[in-house]
């Protein structure tokens, strides 16, 4: 099997061209083995690019535990870069993922990925909850650099009210009027990742919802680098949401499936 390794602000993925249906998608054990950083290639997720009759291609995404998962924003940006590398697209794309159709464009190697509209944000006393293609808990903290994200995130991810399905957990600290630092605990990875695309999208909308950010273009500093989220807000919620940042091919190789 020929595979490619991509990263978007440190969120890394194994991507395979599966247009010829060479991969047994039920072999979740093998997917988990390939994502293992000691015994496999190592990645936060595993992505298949497949043919789609209604768009340029289809994205099938698996968490590093081998299970097919909800939308991955950085993975979406990486598969767009991969599609350009394969010659499937030039600088614009439309593709289907588990949460529906996404549009994307590439400008000067920066990948802009349009996310789904968000019409509901639940605001609680200590946190917010919203779905940006994946479920996200958003919580403001102080001294984010020293925060125990793995321990605190795991407690929230498995705790009430999220139940067995769980939620991704984002801890946020404000840097300036439209800039925020974010650290994310991802379900399926069951650890902190260097960046989470749907997570920073959730944070941007949550900060605007609570008037901590007053602009519709918000900068997010993750452990793996800088991302930007832009959007339009109205009485019905948020639309025309774009996740923006670098996505790069790291290497390619061959491995037994």
* Catalytic residue list: 72, 196
**Structure tokens of 206?**
């949550």
Rounded CA separation 29/214 (Å): 45
DSSP-derived letter for residue 145 is G
Contact 235, 219 (CB under 8 A): no
- Nearest CA to 196 among 232, 179, 214, 172? 172
Q: How far apart are CA 197 and CA 244, in angstroms?
A: 9
Task: Dihedral sign for Cα 92, 250, 144, 124, please.
Answer: positive
> Cα angle at 195 between 92 and 180, to 5 degrees?
100
Residue from 38, 8, 2 nearest 220 by CA:
8
Write down the H helix ranges in the chain.
28-35, 73-86, 149-158, 197-209
Quick check: helix, strand or coil at residue 120? coil
Contact 61, 31 (CB under 8 A): no
- Which residues lie across from 232 on neighbouring strands? 239
């Amino acid at each position: 099997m020929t595979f490619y390794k991509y990263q978007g602000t440190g969120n890394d993925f194994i991507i395979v061209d599966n247009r010829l249906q060479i991969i047994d998608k039920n072999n979740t054990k093998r997917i988990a083995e390939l994502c293992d950083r000691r015994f496999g290639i190592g990645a936060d997720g595993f992505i298949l690019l497949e043919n789609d009759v209604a768009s340029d291609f289809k994205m099938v995404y698996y968490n590093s535990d081998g299970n097919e998962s909800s939308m991955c924003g950085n993975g979406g940006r990486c598969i767009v870069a991969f599609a350009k590398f394969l010659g499937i697209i030039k600088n614009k794309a439309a593709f289907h993922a588990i949460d529906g159709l996404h549009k994307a464009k590439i400008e000067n190697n920066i990948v802009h990925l349009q996310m789904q509209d968000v019409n509901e944000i639940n605001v609680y006393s200590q946190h917010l909850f919203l779905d940006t293609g994946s479920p996200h808990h958003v919580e403001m903290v102080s001294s984010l650099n020293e925060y125990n994200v793995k321990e605190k995130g795991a407690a929230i991810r498995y705790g009430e009210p999220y139940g067995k399905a769980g939620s991704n957990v984002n801890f946020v600290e404000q840097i300036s009027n439209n800039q925020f630092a974010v650290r994310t605990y991802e379900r399926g990875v069951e650890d902190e990742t260097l960046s989470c695309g749907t997570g920073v999208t959730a944070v941007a909308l949550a900060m605007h919802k609570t008037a901590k950010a007053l602009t519709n273009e918000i900068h997010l500093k993750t452990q793996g680098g800088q991302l930007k989220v832009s959007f339009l807000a109205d009485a019905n919620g948020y639309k025309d949401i774009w996740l923006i940042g670098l996505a790069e091919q790291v290497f390619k190789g061959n491995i037994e499936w």
